């Protein structure tokens, strides 16, 4: 088994601070499917591009790093036996049907770091 990161590109993230459950329904449904399939290692929905801050060199600016029509709206890491299997999962992402898309990248290393318990 290998791990793949799936980066979701969309015009913007649906997960705005004031987003209603209806706004998020389609994404929640997809997340539930993935969870059921048992493939997800970690998943993160990001807030919209308006909330992004970028640093290039020493300069901090408002907005996403790359000025493009699409931004990374979220990402998740899945476990799959091979790329075909990963693509099969990735293509079901609602973003692919909404004018955006996904990028699948094999994970080199990493994971959630657990802090040692205190005391």
CB of 74 to another protein, least distance (A): 15
Q: Does 11 bind another protein (CB under 8 A)?
A: no
Asked if residue 10 lies in contact with residue 93, where contact means CB atoms within 8 angstroms, the answer is: no
Residue 53 binds to another protein (criterion: CB under 8 A): yes
57 forms part of the interface with another protein (CB under 8 A): no
Looking at 6-14, 53-61, 77-85, 89-97, which segment touches another protein (CB under 8 A)? 53-61
Selected binder of another protein within 23, 35, 50, 82 (CB under 8 A)? 50
CA distances from 46 to 108, 118, 119 (A): 22, 30, 33
Q: Which DSSP category does 95 fall into? A: G
Q: Does 51 bind another protein (CB under 8 A)?
A: yes
Q: What is the DSSP letter of 90?
A: H
Q: How far apart are CA 9 and CA 44, in angstroms?
A: 13
> Which run of H or of E encompasses 37?
helix 21-37
Task: Specify the stretch interacting with another protein by CB under 8 A; choose among 27-35, 51-59, 95-103, 111-119.
Answer: 51-59
Task: Give the span between the Cα atoms of 53 and 69, in whole angstroms.
Answer: 17
Contact pick of 25, 32, 33, 61 for another protein (by CB under 8 A) = 61
Residues that bind another protein (CB under 8 A): 17-18, 47, 50-53, 58-63
């Amino acid at each position: 088994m290998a791990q793949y990161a799936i980066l979701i590109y969309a015009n913007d993230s649906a997960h705005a601070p004031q987003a209603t459950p209806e706004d998020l329904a389609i994404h929640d449904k997809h997340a539930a499917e993935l969870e059921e399939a048992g493939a997800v290692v970690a998943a993160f929905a990001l807030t919209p591009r308006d909330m992004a801050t970028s640093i290039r060199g020493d300069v901090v600016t408002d907005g996403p790093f790359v000025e493009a029509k699409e931004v990374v709206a979220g990402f998740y890491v899945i476990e799959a036996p091979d790329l075909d299997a990963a693509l099969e999962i990735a293509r079901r992402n609602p973003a692919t049907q909404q004018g955006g898309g996904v990028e699948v990248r094999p994970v080199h290393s990493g994971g959630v770091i657990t802090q040692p318990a205190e005391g």
